[in-house]
Amino acid sequence: MKTLQREKMDKETQEKINQLQLIEHNMHNISSQKQQFHNQLLEIESALSELKDRTSAFKIIGNIMVETEKAVLEQDLQSKKETIELRIKTFEKQEEKFKKKAEELQQDVLSKIKRD
């Protein structure tokens, strides 16, 4: 009887370990994506800062650079900045959710291992 319980518990523990590994993998992916968006945010903030001192503005479209209205470009960059900030916040919420779930699974696994 104890062997059957131990096998069942081992399977449950292994399943939780597998879930934990998947969560850690997802957290790594989210962290990488968040970093990419953070880099884009820094570029946009830098561009907005540079535009403040300029009277004319240019935008790259495909392989060419065209002159554009400064106000239009600033509005476009500000819109992109807001979108990226929202995505970063979404990634942070996902990270927090995964972190809590990982902590729960770790506690479950450790408590089962200690009982064995």
- Residue 12 — very low, low, confident or very high, per pLDDT cuts 50/70/90? confident
How much of the chain exceeds pLDDT 70, in percent?
91
HSE, side-chain direction, 13 A CA sphere, residue 111: 7
pLDDT tens profile 42-57 = 999 999 999 998 999 9
Q: Is the pLDDT score of 6 beyond 70? A: no
Q: Is the pLDDT score of 1 beyond 50? A: no
Angle between the 2-52 and 70-115 helix axes, to the nearest 10 degrees? Answer: 160
Contact 101, 23 (CB under 8 A): yes
Question: Bridge-partner residues for 100, per DSSP?
Answer: none
Q: Is the pLDDT score of 4 beyond 90? A: no
How much of the chain exceeds pLDDT 90, in percent?
77
* pLDDT value for 116: 62
Rg, C-alpha atoms of the chain:
24
**Range name among 23-37, 53-67, 90-104 with the lowest pLDDT average:** 53-67
Q: Which two tokens stand for residue 83?
A: 């979108």
Residues 6+ apart with CB under 8 A from 23: 98, 101, 102, 105
